Amino acid sequence: MAALGQTRMLFRIFGFPIKVNPSWVFLFVLIVFSLSSRNGLLHQWLAGEGVSETTYWALGMIGALGLFGSLIVHELAHSVVARYTGMPVKGITLFVFGGVSEMGDEPPTAGAEFFMAVIGPLSSVVIGVACLVLWAMGESFLSWPATVGVVFRYLGTINLLLAVFNSMPAFPLDGGRVVRSLLWGLTGSL
């Protein structure tokens, strides 16, 4: 990632440095724009609600920050399992393609790789379902304003889509790592 610019550490969680690459700014702006512009998702979901343009842009920023928070949780799940199995973890970096846990070595066993790979999409599913449940509760009996509910709807939807995408059996996605771990377990060779 050196070609994409110098990463900067933002903070630490559970001892893992959380870093951001300057390319992340491009992705952040792209997400905010895709959510907030006149043809964006938020305009479609909030049609007829009388929401101001300023509110759309504020919601777009909140949605983008929520997405990156979700990516950090996803990568933290990988990192915690990696640490538990004895793998060194250098940190987590957010960049133009999302996020990555920087492992210091290959997994020690096929089982370690399997659990490290499946925990990421599982964390995205948990976040996605929790957000959609909150959205449904807000819509049905909590009487939240539509502007609150739409953020949970977006985060629920995008996290479930991320879980599906990351589960595709293509290396280095999580699904590809699951396939590699299964082949490793069958053949005894990484």
Give catalytic residue positions.
75
User: What single string gives the DSSP state of each residue in the chain?
Assistant: -GGG---EEEEEETTEEEEE-THHHHHHHHHHHHHHSTTSHHHHHTTTS---HHHHHHHHHHHHHHHHHHHHHHHHHHHHHHHHTT--EEEEEEETTEEEEEESS--SSHHHHHHHHHHHHHHHHHHHHHHHHHHHHIIIII---HHHHHHHHHHHHHHHHHHHHHTSS-TTSHHHHHHHHHHHHHHS--
